[in-house]
C-alpha cells in the first residue's frame, strides 16, 4: 500500500534529518515538544538547536499536537529517546490505526524491561507492522547532502518494499533486511563500544588501540547478538561493522565524545550537565550488562565501560582492562 502521510515523532537531529528525507517522497509531519523548535522548522526551515543553520526540506511540516500527528499517519517513524519511547507511544496508541507500520530510529534498550524498541511496539500495538531503520548515519552529514547508506529491517516483508521508497533517494541508499533483532542490537551495542573507543582517544592511546577496541568490540556485539537471536552476518554489515566504525571514529559521535571526556578526566555528572542530546550508550550500558549475564556472554569491553559510567572505575584502569581483554585466542571469547 502507498504511505502518503508519514508522521515522525521526535524533532532532534536524527528525527529532523529523516523527516527531511521523507518529505522528498511523501507528506511528512514531525512532532516535537519544544514549540520554538517547531516554529523554526515551519517558518525558517532549520533546526538550529540540533543541526545548526543547515537548511531542511521546506516540505517538512511540524507540530506540537502529538495525537493529531498519530491519527493522520499512514506510517509512523519514531526518533525518541529509549527511556521515553514507551511513554510517548502509549499516549497515542488509540489514535494509531492497526495497519499503520511503525519504524523505530532509536538505538537503545529500555532499562527497566531490557526490551528493544520493536519489542515495546509489539507489546503496545501487536497488530501493527514494525521495524527499524539503522546504520552508519551521522545526521549533520546527511542533512548537508553527503552520501550515506542505511538498513530498513522488518519481519513483515509485504510492507518493506513500499516503506523503503519513503526513505530512499540517490544520496541516502536504503537496503532491506529481515533480521530485526540483529539490526536493532547492532545499533544499541555499538554505542557502548564507541564510549570505550572515546576513552582511548581521550587518554591518547592511539590508532592501534582504537582499532583493537573496534575489532574486539565487534566480537562482543556478535556474541550477544547471535545469542539473542540475531544472525551473525548482520554484524558484518552496515548495521554492525559499518555503524560501529562510524560511531567510534567520528567527531560527531555523541557516545565517542562522552568517552573522550571520560578519558580526559571528567566524571559522568559533569559530562551530562554539558549535554542536551542523549548519548544512548550511557543509558543502555546497565541493560546490556544484564542481558550479557542473562545469556552468559562474556563482554569485557562493555563491562569496563559500565564500570566507568557508573562511577565505579576510572578511565585509565578501564582502558587497561579493555586492552588486556584480548589475551588468548582471537577466535574464542576473551
For the chain, what's the residue count? 334
How would you write the chain as a 3-class SS string?
CCCCEEEEECCCHHHHHHHHHHCCCCEEEEECCCHHHHHHHHHCCCCHHHHCCCCCCCCCEEECCHHHHHHCCCEEEECCCCCCHHHHHHHHHHHCCCCCCEEECCCCECCCCCCEHHHHHHHHCCCCCEEEEECCCCHHHHHCCCCEEEEEEECCHHHHHHHHHHHCCCCEEEEEECCHHHHHHHHHHHHHHHHHHHHHHHCCCCHHHHHHHHHHHHHHHHHHHHHCCCCHHHHHCHHHHHHHHHHHHCCCCHHHHHHHHHHCCCCHHHHHHCCCCCCHHHHHHHHHHHHHHHCCCCCHHHHHHHHHHCCCCCHHHHHHHHHHCCCCCCCCCC
Of 330, 324, 322, nearest in space to 200 by CA:
322
Active-site hit among 71, 93, 140, 190: 190
Q: CA 197 to CA 308: how far, in whole Å?
A: 13
C-alpha cell at 231: 544472525
CA 154 to chain centre: 16
Separation between Cα atoms, residue 197 and residue 209, nearest integer Å: 8
What are 189's three cell numbers? 551495542
Residue 294 bears catalytic tag = no
Locate 221 and state its grid cell: 556485539
| Residues with a known catalytic role | 190
Amino acid at each position: 500500500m502507498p504511505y502518503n502521510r508519514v508522521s515522525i515523532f521526535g524533532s532532534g537531529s536524527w528525527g529532523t534529518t529523516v523527516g527531511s528525507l521523507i518529505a522528498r517522497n511523501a507528506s511528512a509531519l514531525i512532532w516535537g515538544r519544544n514549540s520554538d523548535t517547531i516554529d523554526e522548522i515551519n517558518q525558517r526551515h532549520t533546526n538550529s538547536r540540533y543541526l545548526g543553520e543547515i537548511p531542511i526540506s521546506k516540505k517538512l511540516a511540524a507540530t506540537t499536537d502529538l495525537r493529531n500527528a498519530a491519527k493522520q499517519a499512514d506510517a509512523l517513524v519514531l526518533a525518541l529517546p529509549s527511556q521515553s519511547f514507551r511513554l510517548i507511544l502509549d499516549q497515542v496508541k488509540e489514535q494509531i490505526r492497526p495497519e499503520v507500520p511503525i519504524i523505530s530510529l532509536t538505538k537503545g534498550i529500555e532499562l527497566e524491561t531490557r526490551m528493544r524498541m520493536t519489542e515495546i511496539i509489539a507489546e503496545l500495538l501487536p497488530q501493527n507492522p514494525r521495524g527499524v531503520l539503522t546504520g552508519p548515519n551521522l545526521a549533520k552529514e546527511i542533512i548537508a547532502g553527503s552520501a550515506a547508506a542505511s538498513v530498513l529491517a522488518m519481519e513483515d516483508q509485504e510492507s518493506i518494499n513500499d516503506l523503503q521508497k519513503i526513505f530512499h533517494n540517490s544520496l541516502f541508499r536504503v537496503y532491506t533486511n529481515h533480521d530485526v533483532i540483529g539490526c536493532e542490537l547492532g545499533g544499541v551495542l555499538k554505542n557502548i563500544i564507541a564510549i570505550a573507543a572515546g576513552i582511548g582517544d581521550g587518554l591518547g592511546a592511539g590508532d592501534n588501540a582504537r582499532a583493537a577496541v573496534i575489532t574486539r568490540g565487534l566480537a562482543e556485539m556478535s556474541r550477544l547478538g547471535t545469542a539473542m537471536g540475531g544472525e551473525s552476518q548482520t554484524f558484518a554489515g552496515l548495521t554492525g561493522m559499518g555503524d560501529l566504525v562510524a560511531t567510534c571514529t567520528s567527531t560527531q559521535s555523541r557516545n565517542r565524545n562522552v568517552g573522550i571526556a571520560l578519558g580526559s578526566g571528567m566524571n559522568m555528572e559533569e559530562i551530562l550537565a554539558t549535554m542536551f542530546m542523549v548519548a544512548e550508550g550511557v543509558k543502555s550500558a546497565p541493560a546490556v550488562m544484564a542481558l550479557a549475564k542473562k545469556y552468559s556472554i562474556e563482554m569485557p569491553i562493555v563491562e569496563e565501560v559500565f564500570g566507568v559510567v557508573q562511577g565505579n572505575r576510572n578511565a585509565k584502569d578501564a582502558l587497561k582492562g579493555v586492552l588486556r581483554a584480548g589475551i588468548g585466542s582471537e577466535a574464542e571469547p576473551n
